[in-house]
Amino acid sequence: MSDQDGPRKGLAKSFFYLSWICLLGVLYLVFGNVLESRYNPNKDLNSRQQAGKPVVLTRNKQGHYVAPGLINQQPVIFLLDTGATNVSVPASVAGKIGLQGQAWGKVQTANGTIDIQVTTLDSISLGNITQTGVRANINPYMDDNTVLLGMSFLRHLELTQRGNTLTLKP
């Protein structure tokens, strides 16, 4: 073995590890997008919406309707929840979008009574449907970044579910 083989072996080893890192990166991107599409099959909702047309959502693999939207012109992810009286914003999301509570209150949830901050959203949009002055709660106990789109928004819409789609009309 010559002294020149040492640098070649080091270079070959570096390329081997770099190849594996690149492969893992590509797999992460591919499967990350697959998982995101399974959770939120409506992620391109805003790009396919036409003014005056109903909003049509596709149910995800867990049977929920998840879609992107806006609160006070800031992007969020909604989970439609007809069992929620008001829109419920996780405290972490409220902080990111600059949402302030106006008063403290209590609400009854499936896990019992909790303290929340009551607020009013200047605007909230799902596809081409926008409402103003919508009641909402800032919930410090919600762990994820998904906003529950409750009846304070949904009660003003006509909801029609057929198969795996939900159509919303103002």
Tens of pLDDT along 76-127? Answer: 999 999 999 999 999 999 999 999 999 999 999 888 999 999 999 999 999 9
Token couple for 3? 């002294």
Q: Is 152 helix (H, G, I), strand (E, B) or coil?
A: helix
Token couple for 83? 């069992």
Confidence of residue 157 (pLDDT cuts 50, 70, 90): very high
Confirm if 121 and 102 have CB atoms less than 8 A apart: no
What are the C-alpha distances in Å from 136 to residues 10, 100, 123?
60, 11, 11
Confidence of residue 17 (pLDDT cuts 50, 70, 90): confident
Question: Cβ of 118: how many Cβ atoms within 10 Å?
Answer: 16
CA-based end-to-end distance of the chain? 78
CATH number of 45-169: 2.40.70.10
